Structure 1
Amino acid sequence: MKSSTAPLPSGRFTIGKVFDFEAGHRLPGLPPEHKCSRQHGHTYEVEIILTAPALQEPGFVTDFGDLAPFKRYLNTELDHQNLHEVLDFEPTSELLARHLAGWFIQNVQPGIAGRLVAVRVRETRRSWARFDVATT
């Protein structure tokens, strides 16, 4: 059977792109003896996950280049900042993932074909938090 004659399954296409930034934070809501209540820093890794039921020419969910405004936001607003000083919420990875999802939906998503599925924020190689966008 030739691959060109095989029936294609229905489904959705999904892509992801990883960005990073350096920042410090502390979590003052924790007890003073908790190590994360003290100032410390991370090389944050942020993954944006997008989906679409069909592809745009030449076969993209979204051109990765169209995600540049998100990288600019990370670079100008969060990179080399104390997150607890520039954000109006406790800067846990969970809340940061939700914040970044909201920023992406408002500022990037209107101009692209793909739709945001989730944002994953990684503080270390072994720990991450993910915010999944509710579908309506």
Structure 2
Amino acid sequence: MNGTGVSGRYRIGKAFRFEAAHFLPGLPAGHQCARMHGHSYAVEFVLAAYRLVPPGFVTDFGDLAPVKQLIDSTLDHRVLNDLLPVAPTSENVAAWLAGWFVEQVEPSLPGRLVSVRVSETQSSWAEFVLEDR
């Protein structure tokens, strides 16, 4: 219980932005995504916890600074095909970021990653949801 008389889980989200280019191999020659093109990506990380840590956080937003550092140093203004071991679809970018986060950042945090959502445009997104943990 959390003092409210109801049980549940707390969730927080933090969004990041970056600019990058990519192309998707294996598509028909006339498909627009087969050609090199760029996006203004938006990425959202969602974390959850059953209990808050003082002073009442799932995780301090400041502790997510390594995500910004990764984005700025590795993804921003790059060609994603040169960085990822898979085709750089939004789905694969979300899964890659989730794997990196769980390995590199999550061990030092009280909250647990729930999902990563990647948007290439304002009207479309793909999300990688981690299994219940």
Alpha-carbon distance between aligned partners in 2 of 1:103 and 1:29, rounded to the nearest angstrom: 26
Q: CA deviation at 1:38?
A: 0.3
Match of 2:47 among 50, 54, 65: 50
The question of 1:18 aligning with 2:15 is answered: yes
Alpha-carbon distance between aligned partners in 2 of 1:21 and 1:108, rounded to the nearest angstrom: 19
Q: CA deviation at 1:7?
A: 4.6
Percent of paired sites with the same residue: 54
- Superposed CA deviations along residues 114-134 of structure 1, whole A, max 9, x for unmatched, are 000000000000000000001
Alpha-carbon distance between aligned partners in 2 of 1:28 and 1:121, rounded to the nearest angstrom: 19
Aligned residues: 131
Provide the TM-score with structure 1 as the length reference: 0.93
Alpha-carbon distance between aligned partners in 1 of 2:87 and 2:37, rounded to the nearest angstrom: 14
Supply the AA of the counterpart residue of 1:132: V
The question of 1:8 aligning with 2:5 is answered: yes
Give secondary structure in 2 for the equivalent of 1:123: strand
Identify the residue that residue 40 of structure 1 maps to in structure 2: 37
Alpha-carbon distance between aligned partners in 1 of 2:12 and 2:81, rounded to the nearest angstrom: 31
Provide the TM-score with structure 2 as the length reference: 0.95
Give secondary structure in 1 for the equivalent of 2:64: helix
Alpha-carbon distance between aligned partners in 2 of 1:109 and 1:118, rounded to the nearest angstrom: 13
Alpha-carbon distance between aligned partners in 2 of 1:96 and 1:30, rounded to the nearest angstrom: 18
Q: CA RMSD in A?
A: 1.1
The question of 1:87 aligning with 2:84 is answered: yes
Structure label with greater radius of gyration: 1
In structure 2, the CA distance between the partners of 1:9 and 1:102, relative to structure 1 (3 Å rule), is same
Give secondary structure in 1 for the equivalent of 2:51: coil
Alpha-carbon distance between aligned partners in 2 of 1:125 and 1:114, rounded to the nearest angstrom: 28
The question of 1:130 aligning with 2:127 is answered: yes
Match of 2:75 among 40, 60, 78: 78
Alpha-carbon distance between aligned partners in 2 of 1:52 and 1:19, rounded to the nearest angstrom: 21
User: Structure 1: which 5+ residue stretches go unaligned?
Assistant: 1-5
Shift >4 Å, 4+ stretches: none
Q: CA deviation at 1:8?
A: 2.4
Identify the residue that residue 3 of structure 1 maps to in structure 2: none
